[in-house]
């Protein structure tokens, strides 16, 4: 019998101009992945119910909600693009999930100013997510009025027929799973996400087992393996489409391309075997030079004590909801900076786990019994993790770690526990998956002998901090290191990125002797480090320091720094919930300037965030490619108020010291001009001026160095980023860290070009990237014409000592020999040979 069509008007939830969905700059909407509909460029700021029905979804970030009519049509209203990253800021929900609403009833208010400033787009997307009920759809054109104009005119399939069908389960044909690792977390998350778009109850059936297809945990619990037949069973108004589409999705591998699946542990070659160099060595990226011996101390996350009984179920539910919202915000922030797709997908699984129906119903059951939110959470997550651990599929067993990880995040938030201070036994070798700058803040008092992290590379912030503290470090170390037992003796060579496990006693004593010799050499270097930096024949090269605050500036001066060549101002902005005020910033700059006095230069780099440097209160839009997106000066120009406040704060410190302001990540002359114009405007109100320079860390800036030099006072070459962008190698990539070496011939030639462009106009050039701290590189940089070296504080004496060993002519000879070489290996080879001729310690080999 042919179905009879009835109509339903979806009214405009906001006033404004209609934009076709295909024109929305986000493939999820433009390709109609969630369903068909239309978008509105809004002129009102209140979202009205587009249909009468029940609020079936209200996102924690309150930027999106859905209303379903009684006969199974669900309409999603999504405000803006990437507004999830605002974590609820700028939105006020006027209804709760589950509420019954009338057509035209206000559901949500948003602050257009916040969105205009911080979101990628203000467009409001209106999508019918239950497409199966829709025969055809006619979107309005032109302008629409909220609560009045029909935005979408739907012709529906006969509602009675659909309702009748709702009682009958629809069962798909069996699908043989193509996924090599079965339905593990990632495909499970894809299936659950798709299943949630249907109103019908959707289940996956394998043999006698049947699970909720909208729950990631339940799907993983099905433990379905490759080739096993799985059916989709759906009951509800859109059952037919749900069963057909999910069966197709399963047959296609649920978003997992061949070769992407994880290999079960039993059969996978152990990474340790692949990336260890034999003789019990575990490899990673050299991140901070130096040798160390010590016992392994693994940093793992601690357990939480929680009270079993809580307040009323409503109170506990409200606490839980807050924690879930915050956890989602944290995970979204991590996802924005995930450097590979797999990591981003894992974080998607974590987001899905936060609202997983299986976990939510376990938690709800415990809350109803009067348990506290924290207790319910701990039990539910631990129970589900334990279930996964009992499965016979090794890949699924490993996913228990994800469930535990999300549970731990929620528990920490519920317990209001700030991440505990990391207490490393004095002299231990700290091994961790990942360390945050706050983890490392206690190292001033109790310092480890060395640090090894599985994540990050030689220019990650962990590496920069370790170098600043003079702690040998290996980043991106093979995960085999995470399995080392606590207390086992190891030797770390931070210069080569090698950790040697259980070394023989004779070897350890050789290493200890070498460490003692280095310490003695450092003392000799330190005794002469207070003299100005000069080559053997008296040519002046200023040796300044890279610091983050006044305390480090004091240490730098005590170690012989002749100024601060790079104040990484973003560290004043990190680890805070709000931006520092102009006063706070000015006080920090004044404090550093006072340490240095009027003679020593202070180069304040303006905020350099984006890429690998997130800021909690400045949610940068999610980007496909954050290292090529909003970074450095681009962020400042995009947020002029914040930038101007920083410039005013720097100008306020100018009378106290010898202030220089430096713009990071400059790629074009336009950026320099725009930034200088703002500086000039802010400067009108004050009498003191500052010198203005730019970081040279983007190849385009190198090529137009001569052009930039006409309009700037100085350059400082950021070789960490310049190497990254010149070689197109992510500076945090553990596998590329060994090759992304600034002693690459292309980078050396770029340094030479920059110097040439600057000197043509009488401007000075510094190098503040990590290579300047390497004594081996010092004569090369000086020979290329660099006027200033800004280095990590512990490296100051060794850098000055290296300078004093070479005459200017020898430096120039070495540099011109090296720029003619063709490979990094050739360049490093020449440097190693020169070093051994001089008997100079290069820190490149553990004595064998
Ligand atoms: C650089 O890129 O070399 C640099 C000094 O800046 P940062 O490491 O802070 O990005
Ligand atoms: Mg940089």
Mean pLDDT of 654-677: 97
Q: Are 406 and 381 in contact (CB under 8 A)?
A: yes
- Number of Cβ within a 10 Å radius of residue 45: 18
Q: Which ligand is nearest to the CA of 566?
A: 1
Distance CA 43, CA 15 (A): 5
The 10s digit of each residue's pLDDT in 7-23 is 899 999 999 888 888 88
Comparing 256-270, 362-376, 434-448, which segment has the lowest mean pLDDT? 256-270
What are the pLDDT digits (tens) for 483-513? 888 899 999 999 888 999 988 888 889 899 9
Any idea how long the chain is? 848
Write down the pLDDT at residue 409: 82
How far is residue 54's CA from residue 57's CA, in Å, rounded to a whole number?
A: 9
Q: How far apart are CA 519 and CA 472, in angstroms?
A: 13
Give the closest residue to 750 by CA, choosing from 773, 734, 767, 763: 767
Residue to mutate, 720, 732, 737, 792, ligand 1, most ligand atoms under 8 Å from C-beta: 720
Testing ligand 1's pocket by substitution, the residue of 456, 460, 697 carrying the most ligand atoms inside 8 A of its CB is 697
* Alpha-carbon dihedral sign for residues 822, 828, 831, 833: negative
Which residue is closest in CA terms to ligand 1's atom 10? Answer: 721
User: How far is it, in rounded angstroms, from Cα 14 to Cα 109?
Assistant: 10
Distance 464 CA to ligand 1 centre (A): 9
pLDDT band at 566; cut points 50, 70, 90: very high
pLDDT of 756 higher than 50? yes
- Give the number of the atom of ligand 1 that is nearest the alpha carbon of residue 769: 3
Q: Give the DSSP letter string of 562-626.
A: SSEEEEETHHHHTT-SSPPPHHHHHHHHHHHHHHHTTTSEEEEEP---BTTB--TTS-PPP-S-G
The CA distances from residue 200 to 214, 232, 242, 522, 562, in Å, are 10, 12, 8, 72, 71
> Largest alpha-carbon pair distance within the chain?
100
Task: Express each pLDDT in 58-84 by its tens digit.
Answer: 776 788 888 888 777 888 898 988 777
Q: Where are the beta strands (DSSP E) in 412-486?
A: 429-432, 450-453, 473-475
Cβ(720) to ligand 1 under 6 A? Answer: yes
Round to whole Å and give the CA distance between 267 and 265.
5
User: Three-state SS string across 268-320, please?
Assistant: CCCHHHHHCCCCCEEECEEEECCEEEEEEEECCCCCCCCCCECCCHHHHHHHH
| pLDDT per position as a tens digit, 764-774 | 999 999 999 99
Give the residue from 487, 497, 468 showing the smallest Cα distance to 282: 497
Mean pLDDT lowest for which of 67-81, 339-353, 741-755?
339-353
Q: Which of 612, 664, 781 is the pocket-test mutation for ligand 1 (most atoms within 8 Å of CB)?
A: 664
Helix (H) or strand (E) holding 507: helix 505-528
Q: Is there an atom of ligand 1 within 6 Å of 525 CB?
A: no
What's the CA-to-centroid distance between 461 and ligand 1, angstroms?
Answer: 10
pLDDT band for position 2 (cuts 50, 70, 90): very low
- Does any ligand 1 atom lie closer than 6 A to the CB of residue 721? yes
Is the pLDDT score of 839 beyond 50? no
834 has a pLDDT exceeding 50: yes
pLDDT value, residue 837: 60
Positions marked catalytic:
461, 768
d(CA 47, CA 13): 5
DSSP 496: T
Ligand nearest to the CA of 612: 1
Ligand 1: atom nearest CA of 770 is 3
224 neighbors 182 (Cβ within 8 angstroms): yes
Does ligand 1 have an atom closer than 6 angstroms to the CB of 568?
Answer: yes
Residue 826's φ and ψ, nearest 5 degrees, are: -60, -45
- Per DSSP, which regions of 581-650 are E strands? 601-605
In the reported structure, the alpha carbon of residue 720 is separated from the centroid of ligand 2 by a whole-number distance in angstroms of 6
Task: Point out the ligand 1 atom lying closest to the alpha carbon of residue 768.
Answer: 5
Burial code (b: 16+ CB inside 10 Å, e: under 16) for 357-383 equals bbbbebbbebbeeebbbbbbbbbbbee
């Amino acid at each position: 019998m042919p179905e009879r069509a009835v109509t339903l008007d979806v009214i405009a939830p906001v006033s404004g101009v209609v934009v076709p969905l295909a024109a929305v700059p986000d493939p999820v909407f433009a390709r109609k992945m969630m369903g068909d509909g239309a978008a509105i460029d809004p002129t009102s700021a209140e979202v009205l119910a587009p249909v009468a029905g029940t609020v079936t979804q209200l996102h924690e970030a309150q930027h999106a909600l859905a209303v379903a009519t009684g006969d199974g049509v669900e309409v999603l209203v999504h405000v803006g693009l990437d507004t999830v990253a605002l974590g609820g800021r700028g939105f006020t929900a006027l209804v709760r999930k589950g509420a019954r609403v009338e057509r035209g009833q206000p559901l949500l208010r948003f602050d257009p100013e916040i969105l205009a400033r911080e979101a990628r787009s203000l467009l409001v997307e209106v999508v019918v997510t239950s497409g199966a009920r829709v025969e055809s759809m006619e979107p309005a054109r032109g302008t629409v009025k909220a609560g009045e104009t029909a935005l979408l005119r739907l012709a529906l399939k006969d509602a009675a027929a659909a309702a009748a069908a709702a009682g009958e389960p629809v069962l798909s044909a069996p699908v043989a799973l193509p996924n090599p690792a079965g339905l593990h977390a990632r495909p499970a998350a894809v299936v659950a996400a798709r299943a949630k778009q249907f109103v019908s109850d959707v289940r996956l059936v394998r043999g006698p087992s049947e699970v909720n297809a909208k729950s990631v945990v339940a799907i993983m619990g099905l433990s379905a393996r490759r080739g096993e037949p799985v059916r989709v069973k759906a009951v509800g108004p859109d059952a037919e489409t749900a069963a057909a589409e999910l069966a197709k999705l399963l047959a296609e591998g649920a978003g997992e391309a061949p070769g992407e699946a994880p290999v079960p542990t039993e059969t996978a070659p152990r990474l340790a075997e692949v990336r260890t160099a034999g003789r019990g060595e575990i490899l990673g990226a050299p991140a901070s030079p130096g040798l160390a011996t010590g016992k392994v101390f693994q940093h793992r996350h601690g357990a939480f004590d929680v009270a079993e009984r809580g307040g009323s179920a409503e109170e506990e539910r409200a606490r839980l909801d807050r924690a879930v919202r915050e956890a989602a915000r944290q995970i979204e922030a991590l996802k924005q900076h995930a450097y590979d797709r797999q990591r981003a997908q894992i974080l998607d699984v974590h987001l899905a786990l936060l609202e997983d129906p299986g976990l939510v119903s376990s938690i709800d059951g415990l809350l109803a019994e009067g348990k506290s939110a924290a207790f319910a959470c701990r039990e539910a997550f631990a129970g589900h993790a334990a279930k996964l651990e009992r499965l016979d599929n090794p890949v699924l067993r490993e996913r228990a770690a994800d469930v535990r990880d999300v549970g731990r995040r929620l528990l920490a938030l519920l317990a209001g526990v700030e991440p505990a201070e990391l207490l490393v036994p004095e002299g231990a070798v700290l091994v961790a998956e990942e360390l945050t700058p706050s983890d490392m803040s206690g190292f001033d008092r109790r310092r480890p002998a060395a640090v090894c992290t599985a994540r990050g590379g030689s220019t990650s912030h962990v590496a920069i901090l370790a170098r600043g503290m003079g702690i040998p470090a290996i980043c991106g170390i093979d995960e085999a290191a995470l399995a080392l037992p606590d207390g086992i003796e190891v030797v770390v060579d931070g210069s080569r990125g090698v950790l040697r496990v259980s070394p023989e006693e004779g070897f350890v004593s050789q290493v200890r002797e070498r460490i003692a010799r280095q310490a003695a050499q450092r003392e000799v270097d330190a005794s002469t480090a207070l003299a100005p930096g000069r080559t053997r024949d008296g040519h002046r090269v200023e040796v300044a320091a890279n610091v983050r605050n006044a305390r480090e500036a004091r240490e730098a001066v005590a170690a012989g720094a002749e100024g601060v060549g790079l104040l990484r101002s973003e560290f004043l902005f990190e680890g805070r919930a709000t931006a520092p005020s102009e006063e706070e910033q000015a006080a920090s700059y004044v404090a550093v300037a006072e340490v240095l006095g009027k003679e020593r230069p202070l180069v304040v780099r303006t905020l350099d965030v984006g890429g690998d440097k997130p800021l909690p209160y400045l949610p940068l839009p999610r980007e496909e490619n954050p290292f090529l997106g909003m970074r450095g000066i681009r962020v400042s120009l995009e947020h002029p108020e914040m930038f101007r406040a920083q410039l005013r704060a720097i100008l306020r410190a100018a009378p106290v010291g010898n202030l220089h302001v430096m713009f990071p990540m400059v790629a074009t002359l336009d950026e320099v001009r725009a930034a200088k114009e703002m500086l000039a405007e802010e400067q009108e109100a004050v009498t003191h001026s500052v010198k203005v320079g730019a970081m040279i860390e983007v190849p385009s800036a190198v090529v137009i160095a001569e052009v930039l030099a006409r309009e700037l006072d100085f350059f400082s070459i950021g070789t960490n980023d310049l190497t990254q962008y010149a070689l197109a190698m992510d500076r945090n990539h553990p596998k590329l860290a060994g090759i992304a070496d600034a002693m690459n011939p292309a980078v050396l030639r770029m340094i030479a070009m920059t110097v040439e462009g600057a000197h043509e106009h009488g401007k000075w050039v510094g190098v503040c990237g990590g290579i300047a701290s390497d004594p081996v590189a010092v004569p090369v940089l000086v020979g290329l014409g660099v006027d200033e070296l800004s280095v990590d504080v512990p490296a100051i004496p060794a850098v000055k000592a290296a300078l004093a060993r070479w005459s200017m002519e020898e430096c120039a000879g070495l540099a011109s020999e090296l720029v003619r070489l063709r490979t990094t290996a050739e360049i490093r080879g020449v440097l190693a040979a020169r070093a051994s001729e001089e008997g100079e310690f290069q820190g490149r080999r553990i004595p064998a």
